[in-house]
Amino acid sequence: MAQQIFAYILHKNGVADDSALELVAAAKKIDAGAKVTAIVTGTGAPLDALCKEMAASYSSVWKIDNAAVAYPNAEVIRKILVKLIPKGSILLCPHNTFGMDLAPGLSIKLDASFVSDVVAIEGIDGSNLKVIRQEFSGQVSTHILCDISNGAVVNTRPGSFKADESKSAGGAVTDKSSEAGDLSAKRRYLELVEAQVGDVDITKSDILVSVGRGIGEKDNIPVAEELAKAMGGDVSCSRPIVDAKWLDKSRQVGTSGKTVKPKVYMALGISGSFQHLGGLKGSPFIVAVNKNVKAPIFQVANVGVVEDMIEFMPVLTEKISESK
Amino acid sequence: MEILVCVKRVPDTAENEIKINSDGTDIERDDLVYSVNEWDNYAVEEAIQIRDRVGGAVTVATIGDKDSEEILRREMAMGADKGILISDDAFEGSDGKGISKILAAEVKKGKYDLILTGAQADDGAGQIGGMLAAILDLPYASIVNKIETVDSKKIKVGREVEGGNQEMNEIEMPCVLSIQTGINEPRYVGIRGIRKVASIEIPVHKAKDLGVDAASVGAAGAKVKRVDYFVPPAGKGADIIEGSAEEKADKLIELLKAKGGIK
């Protein structure tokens, strides 16, 4: 394949994001023999160390050292990438809050195609890249043909590609800092406001009774609390419950909430979006209770109960109390 | 402040099982209820709250057919001042870039300080806001969960980032923001409210009104195309507990006890 493949390496103070090695795997799905270039932006010694580390996995590493990108402001980084990436190239990015900020606009500026939140890459099909995405919160999948004749920006879903740990690229680091161009931007990063720890720290809970949209109304929250009490656990939830202000943000499990590692996770009325499941670590025993038998949560749960959670919760609570 | 909010009519699939049609070209839509995309609804609420604080007007625009008018009226019943239906056969089959080009042409017809979209819609791509900003050469911030008005030139926005953290930014206007759910509590819209705006005329803008080259949008201009819908072969999946609700509860309790799920 004639096209050059690039990967944008996201990191925190020199510590690579998990996506850094996932993008190696994704690039190989496009072209097994590709010589992939990693682009790493940042500043100082942590950047130098990360570039060296990435050279083990990428044939080439482009380093851009500038204080303006000490924090990854997508508005600035987009300008750098437009300047550095040759027309017609393919750029891989993680589809996280940074990639979502950066990539759609970048595809416009590069006059390249954009395909978002890719979960699998099937390969090249003529002038197209064939990929798989999901729609309707993961309930259905779609094959997508993305015309790459003018290049493409491809955002891959975190965790969808298995990190390539082979570290056999033996690449070299090139300092491209002087080619970055004008780094002025109309958006200025101010600060990161850390999430609050709530009244209960769900990251420390062994047993979580987690409720989602299926709970229907706020008045049903105490019913879940009763169940959690009977089980000796705590109540957590998925995003819609926090959006509705029925529970505090500190109770939310997911990539935009808390990462939890309980022994037992009971998901009630939760469909099981990848953002929610992204907050679940440590291989808990997962029980899914959902009236929709097709809910994606049943694909990841160990045990499933097809019931309306509102009717099932009191039955379960009462039986647990009786069994004690 | 003049605010434009781009909205989309989508099927409500949150609590419904989605089926794919026999040839895999679409989902079965007949039994689905359509409404405004949830993210967009938060964006409209935010726009209304900003207008109520600092003055100005809120315009809602959508690309779609005649059916999409109903969501414009719904958002006008919430408090948006104007609605615009962007509609042309030439727009059908547009990819994200096509949609963004059409919206950019609409934006250029007005004089907006703030352009809002939802952070994502039914296809989960989350691409329109960023593309729109780039076409218009305006600053952009995605996944916004807080907006503070500062002065007539700039605003402060919070972006929702990983781990529930909030990234604060200062951004110059005019700018484009994609709005995350939970930024506010969208007000309830009753049937009476919708009746009140039922007779307001909603202008329809076609490709020629916007100066959009029909060949650069729609299916003809699309470089990213959906081939089919499919349901991936199911994995092992959960062991489904059968029986009456009581029997299921009994069996589940045994399993929970074995796994340390009941203290």
pLDDT tens for chain B, residues 1 to 263: 999 999 999 998 876 778 899 999 999 998 899 999 999 999 999 999 999 999 999 999 999 999 999 999 999 999 999 999 999 999 999 999 999 999 999 999 999 999 999 999 999 999 999 999 999 999 999 999 999 988 999 999 999 999 889 999 999 999 999 999 999 999 999 999 999 999 999 999 999 999 999 999 999 999 999 999 998 877 778 999 999 999 999 999 999 999 999 98
Whether A81 is in a domain gets the answer: yes
Residues A213 and A303 reside in one and the same domain? yes
Q: Is residue A147 part of a domain?
A: yes
B213: domain CATH number is 3.40.50.620
Chain centroid, CA B171 distance in Å: 22
Q: Are residues A104 and A245 in the same domain?
A: no
- Tell me which chain A residues have a C-beta less than 8 angstroms from the C-beta of B164: 195, 249-250, 252, 256-258
**Which domain covers residue A35, as residue numbers?**
5-179
Residues A27-34, mean pLDDT to the nearest whole number: 95
Q: Which residue of B has its CA nearest to A260?
A: B163
- Residue finishing a domain among A128, A148, A179: A179
pLDDT in tens, A121-137: 999 999 999 999 999 98
In chain B, the number of structural domains is 1
Residue B172 included in any domain: yes
Residue A63 lies in a domain: yes
**Is residue A96 located within the same domain as residue A226?**
no
User: Considering only residues 146 to 165 of chain A, which have any Cβ-Cβ distance to chain B shorter than 8 Å?
Assistant: 146-147, 150
Task: Please indicate, yes or no, if residue A190 is contained in any of the structural domains.
Answer: no
Q: Is residue B262 part of a domain?
A: no
B interface test, pick of A111, A114, A194, A277 with most B CB neighbours within 10 Å = A114
Neighbour-count burial of A118, counting CB atoms closer than 10 A to its CB (0-12 exposed, 13-18 middle, 19+ buried): buried
> B225 contacts in A (CB within 8 Å)?
144-146
Digit-coded pLDDT (tens) for A65-105: 999 999 999 999 999 999 999 999 999 999 999 999 999 99
Asked if A46 and A142 sit in the same domain, the reply is yes
Closest chain A residue by Cα to residue B126? A100
Answer yes or no: is B252 within a domain. no
How far is the alpha carbon of B200 from chain A, nearest alpha carbon, in Å? 31
Cβ A137–B124 below 8 Å, yes or no? Answer: yes
Place A199 in a pLDDT band, splitting at 50, 70 and 90: confident
Average model confidence (pLDDT) across chain A? 95
Residues A219-230 have pLDDT tens digits of 999 999 999 999
Is residue A189 in a domain? no
B202/B193 Cα distance (integer angstroms)? 16
Q: Write the CATH number for A173.
A: 3.40.50.620
Nearest-10 crossing angle of helices B38-54, B69-78 = 40
Q: Which domain holds residue B40?
A: 2-221
Min Cα separation B201/chain A (Å):
32
Please tell me the predicted confidence (pLDDT) of residue B42: 98
Whether B173 is covered by a domain: the verdict is yes
Q: What is the mean pLDDT of residues A208-237?
A: 97
Per residue in A108-118, pLDDT (tens digit) is 999 999 999 99
Chain position carrying tokens 């493949």: A5
Give residue A59's identity as a one-letter amino acid code: S
Instruction: Of A299, A283, A290, A293, give the one whose Cα is nearest residue A238.
Output: A290
Q: Is the pLDDT of residue A107 over 70?
A: yes
Judgement on whether residues A145 and A211 belong to the same structural domain of the protein:
no
Minimum-distance CB partner of B239 among A108, A109, A303: A303
Residue A200 has pLDDT above 80, yes or no: yes
User: Are A234 and A310 found together in one domain?
Assistant: yes
Does A103 touch chain B if contact means CB atoms closer than 8 Å? yes
Query: Do residues A41 and A114 both lie within one domain?
Result: yes
Exposure string for A243-270, b = 16+ CB within 10 A, e = fewer = bbebbebbbbbbbbbbbbbbbbbbbbbb
A146, A113 Cβ separation under 8 angstroms: yes
- Using an 8 Å CB-CB cutoff, list chain A residues near B15: 213-214, 292
* Residues from chain B contacting residue A320 (CB–CB below 8 Å): 253, 262
Min distance A216 CA to chain B CA atoms (Å): 10
In a domain, A10, yes or no: yes
Model pLDDT, residue A284: 95
- Nearest C-alpha neighbor of B61 from the set B3, B101, B111: B3
Q: What pLDDT does A1 receive? A: 60
Q: Quick check: is A227 in a domain? A: yes
Task: Specify whether A174 is located in the same domain as A231.
Answer: no
Please tell me which of the candidates B139, B185, B263 has its beta carbon nearest to residue A232.
B263
Q: Does the residue B166 lie in any domain?
A: yes
Residues A147 and A274 both lie in one domain = no
Strand order in the sheet with A5-9: A113-118, A152-156, A90-94, A5-9, A36-42, A60-65, A172-175
Same domain, A70 and A173: yes
Q: Are residues A111 and A11 in the same domain?
A: yes
Please give the tally of structural domains in chain A.
2
Q: Is-contact A116 A133, C-beta < 8 A?
A: yes
B242 within domain boundaries? no
> Which residue type sits at A283?
S
Burial readout B133-153 (b: 16 or more C-beta within 10 A, e: otherwise):
bbbbebbbbbbbbbbeeeeee
Same domain, A75 and A215: no
Helix, strand or coil, per DSSP, at residue B7: strand
